[in-house]
Structure 1
Amino acid sequence: VQVLRNAGEEVTLTVSFLKRAPAFLKLPLNEDCACAPSDQSSGTSSPLCDSGLHLNYHPNNTDTLSCSSWPTSPGLRWEKRWCDLRLIPLLHSRFSQYLPGSDLCRQNAFQVIAVDGVCSGIIQCLSAEDCIDWLQAIASNISNLTKHNIKKINRNFPVNQQIVYMGWTEEREQDSLQDRMYTPKFLALRGSSLYKFMAPPVTTWDWTRAEKTFSVYEIMCKILKDSDLLDRRKHCFGVQSESGEDLYFSVELESDLTLWEKSFQTATFLEVERIQCKTYACVLESHLMGLTIDFGMGFVCFDAATK
């Protein structure tokens, strides 16, 4: 460095070609080869080689690479060892093709975020086909892990409190002045309720701290068609609560949307089958009335003042 500092404004570098370099970079394994690593028994690779390549000794191995003009050395071979730069547990993790909080989709790229917030960074694929293959594979693994986890959790819950669905979605903010258009939310269908969490519930206590809870038999769910979409996100559904509140959710894949629809229908059916009968207060022509919905006997509307 000091020499360069004192060399003036112009510096001339002379580069010479090392004839042994090409053979060296091809990783010859013969111990008599002058371009082979000097310490072949150490199990380490040449500093000029990829750090994932290691020289291992296998007594029964005769399938080795070598310079064409040199005899091979039995028992030695180069092996590729994958180095784990980052490990992301897929249970309760989520992935997204969209820029965080927006409806802008990355082109052939996505990222995976673990439940503790550790992120894979942007994973860029060579083609749309490669990208969808990766997304489907990751989604399948997450789904299998979630199903297995649900089975374990359900062992501790009574029949009327069984979990039917758990998974990540992104909720569209109703306030247009928000910096983020979408916020990750974790939805769960358990027993008679739809739970909305900021993070997946891990303990029994977590289930009591849901951001919002809705009765599944008092809300409506609608899978949105292209004409109903509010922005560029493709796979969306809406939930309307008994109070008239409209919630708008987005998922990543069409298979995620299908799974949600099937799970919601299952949860609603199981709960309606369990309760069988429900009475609601209502008003008819300024009179306080009662409406009983009985799936065994039928529907009855009566004057609440006389009954």
Structure 2
Amino acid sequence: MPRWNKWEDGIPGTSGLEKDPNLRETKKRDSELAGSSFPSLLTSPIPLRIVNVSDGKCRPQPARLKVCPEYLVLQKEEFIFPDDDDTYPRDNKKRTLRLKRQLDGSLGISVKGGSDHNLPVLISKVCRNEDDDHPYIGDAIIKVNQMSLANVTHDEAINILRNAGPEVILTVKHYRSAAPFLLKGVRQLIPEQEQNMDLVDGNSNNATSAPASGLEPRDERTPSIPSASTTSQSQQHPHQKFLPPFNASSSSSSTAQCDSRIRGTSCGSTPVIDSPCSVGSDGSLSWNGIPRVKRKWVDVVEVPLMMAYITRYIFGTDKIRPNSFEVRGMNGSHTGVVHSPDLAVLSHWIKLISDYIIALTNVKAALLNRQLSSNEQISYMGWVAEGVLNSNQPWQNWTPRFFALKGIHVCVFDKPPIEAKDWNGSHVQGYKTYEAMFRIIKESENVDERQHCFLIQTTGGESRYFSMETRADLLRLESAWHRAVCFTIADLGSKTFHVVHKNLPAAFTIDWTDGFLLKSFASPNYHFIYAFSQLKSSSDDGNSTLKLEFVDPPGTRELVEQVLICPKLQDLLFYMHAFLTAKVASLDPVFLNRGRLS
């Protein structure tokens, strides 16, 4: 599993945004076919937010989450350094710097690292006069006045620098890869690469305001100069020690110069944007640490949202992750674990991403329906988790399954069906809706900590236990099931079973129009005909005997009991349940039309 604690390993899911070319081609074709079928949700503004992401084991790292119409994108922040600046040092080249100590004893630099941290002694902050030699953030100090710092601790390096005399000669070598980590403390002051110059004049306001939902990140592209109070000792790295503070007068002039460069008030008619790469221990700034560095958000993971799987549970278990979720794409990419301390924001993001997944999956179903006959139409597709029995430890393993209702069939896939041909094969298990029973599990009946569970039971005696992410998902599936059963039973019309009634062999028929009918094989006439509305109750012995109570005549309180003996009692009960479910659903035409995917 990819490691999130090291950015150079990338974000889990994809490497360099690699994607299955077959899936990309299918998506392109689907997009062309869909046309106006795409819901308005998919053309809405793209939400952004800064989040923390991990692999579930290591410490979360900051990233930016972006919901695009068809992809969920994770971005990491990179610093862009000038390639056209001749004064900027090149890696692996030693340089000699001559620094004069200020009147207050300061050298105007801060350092991190040391042998006790398995790091070289690195310059982490710079605040120098413009006429001095330029140290850069990311410079490793190799020597101080010919004294090597190769194997000294952090405290020893501080003492050597403090006692190096009024003029110090530093031998340094630049490590550009170290600069991004050292710049994190002032990242909010560094302009993004796509900086709009119109936003940084003296009267500018943020052009992009955050919506009421609070999901948009604060626009940090407009740099500003913090006061000394904004940089407190409590915000400093625990292993970082500053040299004596920089001269106040120099700090003031440097800060004024920085401010004029940002605001464009005294540097000519055209504003010049540089980045505050040098920050003194007292919060003052200078511009000679790393000139003109910019921030840039780089896409590192793209998870296709069509048929994607979003979950808050630890994969394969019934344990829910606090304040986090992950999204897995059908091409194998995944976001890692996305963390958000705000439960309201977390819930909003989960709902937003789920809505995109549902909308895109419904579009895919509608496209597949164009290739299917009218009696094979898909009415539902989505992910569930199935509890899989382990030896002596029931429901310890939860496996994602792709669940679909297609025509008369309930289909359970190991992986999502991309093409029409994928609906057949060893990776899919199917049942007929009128030979299966859907039952929502009460909370008190849950077998473990998984919530929103349901059971599928079949005439063959098979039971499968599933869970969904939310109550809304479960109710949506239940509604789709009832609609599918209604359409299936209406097409089926009737079902007849051989029974024994009053010691005579007979045919018992459940008819979509007429209800319950019984006719003896020895007689051409029906022994009874009851409408569905006349059925009052039913009971069975679990073996072969079924008792039915009907209101007869209709509109009275008089009950008539009919006793049937059926060798296929289980099948009969499933068909009865299907016909009754369909009749109830058919009473609401609006409900039946609501779920059509076309």
What range describes the TM-score normalised by the shorter chain of this pair? 0.7 to 0.9
Q: What is the CA–CA distance in structure 2 between the aligned matches of 1:69 and 1:10, rounded to whole Å?
A: 33
By relative contact order (CA 8 Å, sep 6+), the higher-ranking structure is 2
Answer yes or no: is 1:206 the counterpart of 2:422: yes
Q: Select which of 305, 309, 314 maps to 1:99.
A: 314
Answer yes or no: is 1:253 the counterpart of 2:470: yes
Q: What is the CA–CA distance in structure 1 between the aligned matches of 2:348 and 2:403, rounded to whole Å?
A: 25
> C-alpha deviations, 1:196-216, integer Å up to 9, x for none?
100111122211125311111
Tell me which residue corresponds to 1:271: 488
Equivalent position amino acid for 1:242 in 2: T
Instruction: Verify the 8 A CA contact 2:388 2:396 in the aligned structure 1.
Output: yes
Q: Select which of 230, 244, 256 maps to 1:69.
A: 256
Moved more, 291-300 or 159-168: 291-300
TM-score (norm 2): 0.42
Tell me which residue corresponds to 2:156: 12
Answer yes or no: is 1:108 the counterpart of 2:318: no
Residue 265 of structure 1: SS of its match in structure 2? Answer: helix
Distance 1:82 1:59, change over 3 A: closer
Equivalent position amino acid for 1:211 in 2: V
Distance 1:57 1:257, change over 3 A: closer
Answer yes or no: is 1:158 the counterpart of 2:302: no
Equivalent position amino acid for 1:200 in 2: P
Distance 1:274 1:50, change over 3 A: same
Residue 299 of structure 2: SS of its match in structure 1? Answer: coil
Q: What is the CA–CA distance in structure 1 between the aligned matches of 2:150 and 2:271, rounded to whole Å?
A: 50
Distance 1:6 1:164, change over 3 A: closer
Name the Cα RMSD after superposition: 3.4
Moved more, 258-267 or 110-119: 110-119
Tell me which residue corresponds to 2:339: 124
> C-alpha deviations, 1:41-100, integer Å up to 9, x for none?
xxxx99846498445676756346466623333344577643222111111110111112
Q: Give unpaired runs (5+ residues) of structure 2.
A: 1-119, 121-141, 143-147, 163-179, 205-221, 226-254, 265-269, 276-293, 525-598
Residue 419 of structure 2: SS of its match in structure 1? Answer: coil
Give the superposition deviation at 1:159: 1.6
Q: What is the CA–CA distance in structure 1 between the aligned matches of 2:154 and 2:419, rounded to whole Å?
A: 68
Instruction: Verify the 8 A CA contact 1:154 1:162 in the aligned structure 2.
Output: yes
Residue 110 of structure 1: SS of its match in structure 2? Answer: strand
Equivalent position amino acid for 1:229 in 2: N
Residue 356 of structure 2: SS of its match in structure 1? Answer: helix
Q: What is the CA–CA distance in structure 1 between the aligned matches of 2:314 and 2:380, rounded to whole Å?
A: 26
Q: Select which of 409, 425, 448 maps to 1:193.
A: 409
Residue 174 of structure 1: SS of its match in structure 2? Answer: strand
Distance 1:76 1:257, change over 3 A: farther
Residue 140 of structure 1: SS of its match in structure 2? Answer: helix
Answer yes or no: is 1:280 the counterpart of 2:497: yes
Q: What is the CA–CA distance in structure 2 between the aligned matches of 1:190 and 1:276, rounded to whole Å?
A: 18
Residue 300 of structure 2: SS of its match in structure 1? Answer: coil
Q: What is the CA–CA distance in structure 1 between the aligned matches of 2:447 and 2:522, rounded to whole Å?
A: 45
> C-alpha deviations, 1:11-36, integer Å up to 9, x for none?
7112769xxxxxxxxxxxxxxxxxxx
Tell me which residue corresponds to 1:238: 455
Residue 491 of structure 2: SS of its match in structure 1? Answer: helix
Residue 85 of structure 1: SS of its match in structure 2? Answer: strand
Distance 1:156 1:55, change over 3 A: closer
Q: Give unpaired runs (5+ residues) of structure 1.
A: 18-44
Tell me which residue corresponds to 1:299: 516
Q: Select which of 145, 158, 161 maps to 2:360.
A: 145
Q: What is the CA–CA distance in structure 1 between the aligned matches of 2:389 and 2:521, rounded to whole Å?
A: 38
Q: What is the CA–CA distance in structure 2 between the aligned matches of 1:57 and 1:223, rounded to whole Å?
A: 53
Q: What is the CA–CA distance in structure 1 between the aligned matches of 2:503 and 2:352, rounded to whole Å?
A: 58
Give the superposition deviation at 1:285: 8.6
Distance 1:306 1:56, change over 3 A: closer
Equivalent position amino acid for 1:202 in 2: I
Q: Select which of 197, 218, 224 maps to 2:435.
A: 218
Give the superposition deviation at 1:294: 0.9
Instruction: Verify the 8 A CA contact 1:58 1:75 in the aligned structure 2.
Output: no
Tell me which residue corresponds to 1:24: none
Instruction: Verify the 8 A CA contact 2:497 2:507 in the aligned structure 1.
Output: yes
Distance 1:46 1:94, change over 3 A: closer
Q: What is the CA–CA distance in structure 2 between the aligned matches of 1:190 and 1:120, rounded to whole Å?
A: 30
Distance 1:258 1:176, change over 3 A: farther
Residue 415 of structure 2: SS of its match in structure 1? Answer: coil
> C-alpha deviations, 1:210-252, integer Å up to 9, x for none?
5311111121111111112111111111111111211110011
The alignment covers a number of residue pairs equal to: 279
Distance 1:253 1:56, change over 3 A: closer
Tell me which residue corresponds to 2:84: none
Give the superposition deviation at 1:133: 1.8
Give the superposition deviation at 1:130: 2.6
Distance 1:46 1:166, change over 3 A: closer
Identity among equivalent positions (%) equals 28
Distance 1:302 1:133, change over 3 A: same
Distance 1:83 1:304, change over 3 A: farther
Equivalent position amino acid for 2:300 in 1: L
